[in-house]
Structure 1
Amino acid sequence: MEISGIGSFLRNRRFGNYLEASFGVNFASPSKVAVKEEVEKKIQSVAFVEDDGIGAVLISWVRIVVCFVTMMFTTFIWALIMLVLFPWPYQRIRQGNIYGHLTGRLLMWILGNPIKIEGSEYDEKAIYICNHASPIDIILIMWLTPTGTVGVAKKEIIWYPLFGQLYFLASHLRIDRSNPSAAIQSMKEAAHTILKNNLSLIIFPEGTRSKNGRLLPFKKGFVHLALQTRRPIVPIVFTGTHRAWRKGSLHVRPAPLNVEYLPPIRTDDWTADKIEDYVKMVHDVYVKNLPESQRPMH
């Protein structure tokens, strides 16, 4: 059952395809190159004005309902696929990624936020990390995560309706955060699974969602995983998602979004006695690459 090419197609070419869907521009023709450049400039210079009028709110609610219905449909289809593949965990991981590529892309198209994606994709296995300030971050990760990647989340995620059950069926990893010793053991088991199956990993190092978009302190888990797997760390910086969909709100605003892949950070020579230093170093990378409005307040 080798259909991983479908997932690759759904994910790439991410930027150009999404612009075509959002702006109705056909970039296939060489004569449209100049148009594409103009659209990119337009996205960068979008002056976002918040509109909390009843019309904007109603449109937002419709988008959310359509997203929910779409996710229910794709989740049901892929849940059936996962059940058929239950004896083969790695195939379920791949199918989970394909589900994410399709569902994430559809949901972002429905929400309609203009997106710019910068930086180069990384072809080797890695630990991908992202800042987290909005539900949109999860949708983007579903869409952009390479095939052969598992997520790491708290064990309670299995109780989230629809998403939690599919998360379990897709063989993603769960961590017991009830106490330090349980968390460390969970990390060791996660690292073993990643190496055994030659997987990449996606994790939010803040451990929770920021309420105001400002970067929170990083937990140490991603560094422990890097030390045990020696995977490079690829930082992905999300900008603007907190303005598009704020925590606790059901109003999705058309704020422009930016996704930037930063150069990978090698971990081959990292040592266990410098964990705090590595956490601070990677956190500082984010502080440097985030706009002032999303940097921590000192």
Structure 2
Amino acid sequence: MIFVLRLLATAIFAVVMFVFGCSWCLLSPRNPKHVKTFGRMFSKMSRIYGIKLEVRYPEQQEGLPPSVYIANHQSNWDLWTVSGAVMPRTVTVGKKSLLWLPLFGQLYWITGNILIDRKNRSKAVGTIGQVVEKIKQNKVSVWMFPEGTRSRGRGLLPFKTGAFHAAIGADVPVTPIVCSSTGHLNLNRWDNGHIIVEVMPPVSVEGYGKDQVRQLAEDCRNLMVDKLAELDEEVSRRNGAGKVGHSSAA
């Protein structure tokens, strides 16, 4: 019964967000300010799923210099959890096929996010150049999932280098964002316990050349692996006995 009610609430939310969001964004289409607004709206839905979501932001949020934000990518639950950490004037980079997702895809595009064709390597490489130009010209940050796919309970997967090429090319720091494991979340469970999302301190790209992209990626990944273990331990204590990271119903 809980499962059905939550699916109904999700459907209603999706329709409302599409109608309201697209109408609102038509006043200033593809403006980067929209991404933070709607990302944080989506994270409010975590309450409907019985999630006690805590997002740890840096002390300063407004007026930050551009950055390349990288986050762990676990499952569909990211839409309701890690989305709450989108920072001001930040756009995300997603696969082109997202555009064809009913309701969400159209809202994703009109809010100003960047779509890339991952099946076409030459286009994807060109898009990294576009990302660099967007950072430099529009003074925006970009958000990327360096794993390139959902980890689905397999821990933090190896990183692809696109985000790090962009950071070095634009000469902006890389800022890791880590969400504690969501594999234990279940649409049919009334109380899904705590989830913590933390925006970590930025990692400077100073000293990293184009030939050291993989080293930068590995350094950032190591920081995120340690933080993920730390957050999972904290969540486990808060939720009492039990483990995090089990199979998910989403």
TM-score category of the 2 structures, normalised to the smaller one: 0.7 to 0.9
Deviation at 1:235? 0.9
Change (3 A) 1:152 1:120: same
Q: Structure 1 counterpart of 2:117, which letter?
A: D
Deviation at 1:212? 1.8
Write the distance in 2 (CA, Å) between the matches of 1:149 and 1:83: 19
Change (3 A) 1:122 1:64: farther
Deviation at 1:207? 0.7
* 1:187 correspondence with 2:128: yes
Instruction: Specify the SS of the correspondent of 1:84.
Output: coil
Q: Could you tell me which of 56, 65, 68 is aligned with 2:8?
A: 65
Match in the other structure for 2:172: 231
Q: Could you tell me which of 212, 219, 225 is aligned with 1:281?
A: 219
**Contact 1:101-1:144 at 8 Å conserved across structures:** yes
Structure number with the higher helix fraction is: 1
Instruction: Specify the SS of the correspondent of 2:158.
Output: coil
Runs of 4+ off more than 4 Å = 250-253
Q: Could you tell me which of 190, 197, 206 is aligned with 2:147?
A: 206
**Contact 1:213-1:242 at 8 Å conserved across structures:** no
Give the number of aligned pairs: 228
What are the Cα deviations for residues 249-280 of structure 1, in whole angstroms up to 9, with x where unaligned?
Answer: x5466142121222210113320011121111
Q: Structure 1 counterpart of 2:49, which letter?
A: L
Mind listing any 5+ residue stretches in structure 2 that lack a counterpart?
A: 233-243, 246-250
1:119-158 alignment, distance < 5 Å: 120-121=58-59, 123=61, 124=64, 125-158=66-99
Write the distance in 1 (CA, Å) between the matches of 2:98 and 2:118: 12
Q: Structure 1 counterpart of 2:21, which letter?
A: W
Q: Structure 2 counterpart of 1:231, which letter?
A: V
Deviation at 1:174? 1.0
Match in the other structure for 1:76: 19
Q: Which has the higher contact order (CA 8 A, sep 6+)?
A: 2
Mind listing any 5+ residue stretches in structure 1 that lack a counterpart?
A: 1-57
Match in the other structure for 2:46: 108
- The TM-score, its normalising length taken from structure 1, stands at 0.70
Change (3 A) 1:141 1:256: closer
**Contact 1:243-1:255 at 8 Å conserved across structures:** no
Write the distance in 2 (CA, Å) between the matches of 1:98 and 1:114: 20
Write the distance in 2 (CA, Å) between the matches of 1:76 and 1:116: 28
Q: Structure 1 counterpart of 2:192, which letter?
A: P
Instruction: Specify the SS of the correspondent of 1:128.
Output: strand
Write the distance in 1 (CA, Å) between the matches of 2:133 and 2:152: 33
Deviation at 1:173? 0.5
Write the distance in 1 (CA, Å) between the matches of 2:71 and 2:180: 11
Write the distance in 1 (CA, Å) between the matches of 2:67 and 2:118: 23
Change (3 A) 1:283 1:192: same
RMSD of aligned Cα (Å): 2.1
Write the distance in 1 (CA, Å) between the matches of 2:60 and 2:16: 31
